[in-house]
């Protein structure tokens, strides 16, 4: 069943189904000096999202408050959209898919700082996975690039 949902979601993304839906505001928490965080914010705006940013000197307590407790899932910035956590350099299409499908998870993450990710060194995601995580600590692949 997961494979069928993944195929349908991929078809919807490539056919522009999600693109017609109004986009939610993404609230991004980041450090003030992180250039790649600013790059990801610009990338989201370029992809039609409204983005609010909040600069904080330490994000650890915020990440914990939003349910991001496994260090292996963390990245440099944390965003909230429609009640979901979006951690790190997640592609815009995955954010759209998350908003559209509304899965029973805490959020999605691109752990670490993937070098070929939006906001880093590529506008097109390459060579990394975006993971989903839930409140019980379960982690699954949301999408692969």
Which domains are assigned to the chain?
A: 22-144 (3.40.30.10)
**Angstrom distance (rounded) from CA 98 to CA 103:** 7
* Distance, CA of 3 to CA of 70 (rounded, Å): 26
pLDDT score recorded for residue 24: 86
pLDDT averaged over consecutive 10-residue blocks of the chain (145 residues)? 38 45 87 93 96 96 94 97 98 97 98 94 94 96 97
Give the pTM.
0.84
What sign results for the dihedral spanned by CA atoms 11, 106, 89, 42? positive
Q: Give alpha helix (H) positions in 31-139.
A: 35-46, 60-65, 92-101
The residue written with tokens 């691109």 in the block is 110
Q: What is the pLDDT of residue 23?
A: 78
> Which stretch of DSSP H or E encloses residue 12?
helix 2-15
What was the pLDDT predicted at 22?
A: 64
- Per DSSP, 23 falls in state P
């Amino acid at each position: 069943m997961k494979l069928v949902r993944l195929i349908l979601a991929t078809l919807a993304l490539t056919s522009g189904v999600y693109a017609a839906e109004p986009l939610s505001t993404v609230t991004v928490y980041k450090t003030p000096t992180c250039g790649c965080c600013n790059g990801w914010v610009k990338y989201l705006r370029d992809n039609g999202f409204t983005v609010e940013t909040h600069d904080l000197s330490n994000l650890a307590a915020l990440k914990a408050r939003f349910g991001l407790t496994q260090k292996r899932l963390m990245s440099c910035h944390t965003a909230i959209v429609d009640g979901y956590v979006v951690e790190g350099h997640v592609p815009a299409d995955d954010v759209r898919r998350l908003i559209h499908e509304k899965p029973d998870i805490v959020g999605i993450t691109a752990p670490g700082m993937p070098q070929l990710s939006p906001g880093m060194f590529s506008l097109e995601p390459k060579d990394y996975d975006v993971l989903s995580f839930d409140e019980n600590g379960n982690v699954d692949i949301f999408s692969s690039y």
